[in-house]
Amino acid sequence: MKFKLLYFFIFLSNYATAQVSFQAKPSKTQLGINERLRIDFTMNEDGDNFTPPSFENFKVVGGPSQSINNSWINGVRSFSKSYTYFLSPTKKGEFTIGQSRIEINGEIHKTSPLKITVTSAVDVPKDPNDPNYIASESIHLVAEVSKASPYLNEPVSVVYKLYVAENTGVRNWSELDSPRYNDFWSQNIEVKGLKVKEGKYKGENYRYVILKKTVLYPQKTGKLNIEPLTLDVLVEVPSRRRDVFGRLMTSTANRIVTAGKRTINVKALPVDGKPIDFSGAVGSFDFDIKSNKNTLKTTEAFDLTIEVSGKGNLKLFELPKPNLPSALEVYEPEHSEKVSTKLSGMQGSISDRYTVVPNAQGQYPIPTVSFSYFDLNSKTYKTLTSKELIISVARDNGQNFTGNPQNTTQKTNVASLLKQFSSFKSDGGLEPIVRHPFYNTSLFWCLFLGPLLLIPLVIVVSKKQGEKALDVEGNRIRKTNKLARKYLGSAKKAIGQKELFYVALERALHNYLKSKLKIETSEFSKEKIKLLLVKKSVNKLQIEQFLNVLESCELARYTPLEIADMERDYKKAAKVINVLDKQLK
């Protein structure tokens, strides 16, 4: 009877330990709208196909991050796996976070719904030792707008700067919300590298980097909104703790920064003095009309080019059209743009090239063409008029040519042709070929016995190659080491010298992409790299990891780092090069 009870309790204990647990654990059930919520979806058995809830009325600002804990203590196995999300509420109220799902041992398990209450903003405690408070006071994102009240189609530049206080570093950041420019024509200006500069924020000394530059041309009047840029920044802040060597230690904290929504009040162009032919050009321009030929024949054509050059909204208006005589046949124009966009706006030239064919001889005047624009310097309309051109068309005499082509054929001088062959000799001067025997010579026996002697060597080499081909893990390690030595050798030698190390690491990453994508270093930007890797069907996660390593190189130059951080970044770069190399075939 005792043994039966013992077996029964053992069965119950095994049954209890075999129970699958899958729970959603929130950090709090009530929070202010300016706070963040952490939710851990935890299980005690490994599962697949995890499906999170929709998180309606919340914005995911971090995660999902995955962690696994597997340990044995006194012969008892302990396992846990969790997916972690950080959420930011979008409005006040009582909300329900729905069920999440996961498949464990072929069965579907679900969490219970969570009731979360979001209240008005709460006061954040100003603890000078709290990393979150220090981060909130040390990191600021600012959108600098060049004009608050521009004219319609007048360029407006927006520069996004991230200000960082002294003794504070930035490890990494991710873009949570991109700025939207509704009712604007927009053009991003490439930012090549993050250059740290000194500046002031609210009268205090800060360092800053320019993250983004954009040129906007408003396309309607009134109050237009520029939606904000929002970043999730991993900040390194100083603490009062010291390591075993007496050096100050740093703490990390996440900080969500936003540039804030900006409003632009766009003025309409003046009505007084507006020309009838005004097509919306705003800026400072030159105007010209020219022909590549002034004199031609009736069988020829000429090109008539209308060109506007200068500085302004060159891509946002139409060129005037010429009014040509009916005796000239005109084809549809070929439009050409040579425009560069800088922070001050567009500049360059645009043109329409018409192909014109005359139908008869004569003198053809090309009437003047006018072009009107609004001058931002004088705040008035200006009209430019081209010069009148005269095209002279003469009759092509070749059109009336008549005759028999056979009459122009000349007779062949047979004697002269025969004379050409007089230099050839009839005596070839041939000599008999002397044959030398090949059989039983040294070369004969080398060629005969050589292949037989090479057979054992071929067998040994083939066996070694077969063993090497079967060593999948060894091949992977050798390939990784080869790539690391090729591209990361200089960086590895510089570990311990922060500036030299990250310069070498960044150059190695660029050289690797340069060899794989066949583009010049001057063409590199994060947007360009991402676009090219997407075209090469590279996994999105690998693209993000590669860009994160590049950003670490850019930010690390003004971030306090230890040798362990450099070794970690080196291993991360070697890993991402190896994984990326498998997909860039």
Q: In the predicted model, what is the mean pLDDT of residues 235-255?
A: 68
On the question of pLDDT at 249 being above 70, the answer is: no
Selecting from 1.10.150, 2.60.40, 3.10.20, 1.10.260, what CATH number does the domain 131-266 have? 2.60.40
Question: Checking DSSP bridges between strand 184-189 and strand 93-97, what pairing results, if any?
Answer: unpaired
Q: Encode pLDDT of 533-558 as tens digits.
A: 887 777 777 778 788 877 777 776 56
Could you tell me the sign of the dihedral formed by the alpha carbons of 428, 432, 438, 443, in that order? negative
Question: Measured between alpha carbons, how far is 1 from 81 in angstroms, rounded to an integer?
Answer: 40
With contact defined as beta carbons under 8 Å apart, do 227 and 179 qualify? Answer: yes
The residue assigned the tokens 């004088």 is 378
Helix (H, G, I), strand (E, B) or coil at 546: helix
Percentage of residues in the chain with pLDDT exceeding 70? 77
| pLDDT exceeds cutoff 60 at 489 | yes
- Rg (the chain; Cα; Å): 39
Give the CATH number of domain 282-396: 2.60.40.740
What is the arithmetic mean of pLDDT over 308-332? 92
Q: Which two tokens stand for residue 335?
A: 């439009």
The average pLDDT across 6-31 equals: 66
- The per-residue pLDDT for range 367-426, each reduced to its tens digit, is 999 999 999 999 999 999 999 899 999 987 765 444 443 333 333 343 443 444 444 445
User: HEC states along 387-429?
Assistant: CCEEEEEECCHHHHCCCCHHHHCCCCCHHHHHHCCCCCCCCCC
pLDDT at position 303, please?
Answer: 94
- Widest pairwise Cα distance in the chain: 134
| Residue ranges of E strands in 395-501 | none
Nearest residue to 563 via CA among 468, 466, 492, 485:
492
Per CATH, 131-266 and 282-396 having the same topology is answered yes
SS3 277: coil
Tokens of 60: 């995911």
**What sections of 61-214 are H helices per DSSP?**
131-138
**Is pLDDT at 17 greater than 50 in this prediction?**
no
Pairing of strands 282-291, 370-375: parallel
Contacts of 414 (CB under 8 A, 6+ apart): none
Q: Is the pLDDT of residue 474 over 70?
A: no
pLDDT tens for 425-467 read: 455 555 666 555 666 677 777 777 777 777 877 787 777 776 6
Answer whether 32's CB lies under 8 Å from 120's CB: yes
Claim: this prediction has a pTM higher than 0.75? no
The neighbour count for residue 417, using CB atoms within 10 Å, is 9
pLDDT of residue 16: 42
User: Is residue 539 exposed (0-12), middle (13-18) or buried (19+ Cβ within 10 Å)?
Assistant: middle
Closest Cα to residue 505, out of 521, 516, 513, 494?
A: 494
Average pLDDT, rounded, for the chain: 78
In terms of phi and psi (left: phi > 0; alpha: psi -120 to 50; beta: otherwise), the region of 549 is alpha
CA–CA separation, 48 and 105 (whole Å): 9
Could you read off the pLDDT of 348-369 as tens digits, one per residue? 999 999 999 998 888 999 999 9
DSSP-derived 3-state class of residue 217? strand
Q: Cα dihedral sign for 354, 359, 361, 364? A: negative
Angle CA(138)–CA(551)–CA(200) in degrees, nearest 5? 30
The residue ranges of every structural domain in the chain are 18-119, 131-266, 282-396, 472-583
C-alpha distances in Å from residue 188, one per residue of 489, 525, 554: 35, 12, 20
Distance (Å, rounded) from C-alpha 490 to C-alpha 488?
Answer: 6
CATH of domain 18-119: 2.60.40.740
CB–CB of 345/283 below 8 Å?
yes
